[in-house]
Amino acid sequence: QLSRHLYSSTSLAPPPLSSPRRVVVTGLGLLTPLGCGVGTTWKHLIEGKCGIRAVTTEDLKMNAFDKETLTLTFDQLTSKVAAIVPCGTAPGEFNEDLWFNAKDHRSIARFISYALCAADEALKDAKWAPTDQEQKERTGVSIGGGTGSISDILDAAQMICEKRIRRLSPFFIPRILINMASGHVSMKYGFQGPNHAAVTACATGAHSIGDAMRMVQFGDADVMVAGGTESSIDALSIAGFCK
């Protein structure tokens, strides 16, 4: 009796699942080297603009190092170009004071602030701001990253070399964990559904969207905020990719 419910006598294959739900994209958010926002990025893309520029010593994010070490590191890099998100207060630029440098953002690294900025645009585009408890429980987040905040790890390592480990920030771990991007998005908006963070290098964004799609298809959530975030323009990351 039980076996007939699980599989037929001629096959061990399980019975087919019910058809998954149709999934649609309802909102978009982008923060790219071509600009902040979907409109800015698309406009610059179709105009043929390039988001790659020369790297400066400030881009290396070596705040904990002396000037001599900074200069030597910069000189030894075999590549000095990168695709960097434009920062500033002008339209189409990423406002660091709003998303990154605020006093209450001490536990937020740059890659996390990028995710918050893009998620905010996507949610506004989708007009999704649930206040109902059930809707919050049925809304999840799937945002991954590749490396997290390497610059924070580099600064922490320098503290060990200088025997200043007691000055390590209590926010060090929350700043470097990949899953904190999805965590901060869910906390900001009160989403209580699945919270997921893929770590699959350059495929992270695609995997995060694919995982989110399956969660909606099979009923784990009704709405998912999905994508990928990265901020790997720093001395150690550039040196590593130069090899």
Q: Looking at residue 195, which CATH number applies to its domain?
A: 3.40.47.10
- For residue 219, is it within any domain? yes
- For residue 19, is it within any domain? no
Backbone angles phi, psi at 151, to 5 degrees: -65, -35
- For residue 24, is it within any domain? no
- For residue 97, is it within any domain? yes
- For residue 9, is it within any domain? no
Average pLDDT on 76-98 reads: 95
Say how many domains are in the chain. 1
- For residue 75, is it within any domain? yes
- For residue 124, is it within any domain? yes
Check the CA dihedral 162-164-169-173 and report its sign.
Answer: positive
Residues 6+ apart with CB under 8 A from 225: 119, 122, 123, 139, 140, 141, 142, 143, 185, 191, 212
Q: Residue 20's pLDDT is what? A: 78
Burial of 144 (0-12, 13-18, 19+ CB in 10 A): buried
Per-residue pLDDT tens over the stretch 181-223: 999 999 999 999 999 999 999 999 999 999 999 999 999 999 9
- For residue 42, is it within any domain? yes
Q: Would you say residue 228 has pLDDT above 90?
A: yes
Structural domain of 172: 31-242
Contact by Cβ (8 Å): 144, 199? yes
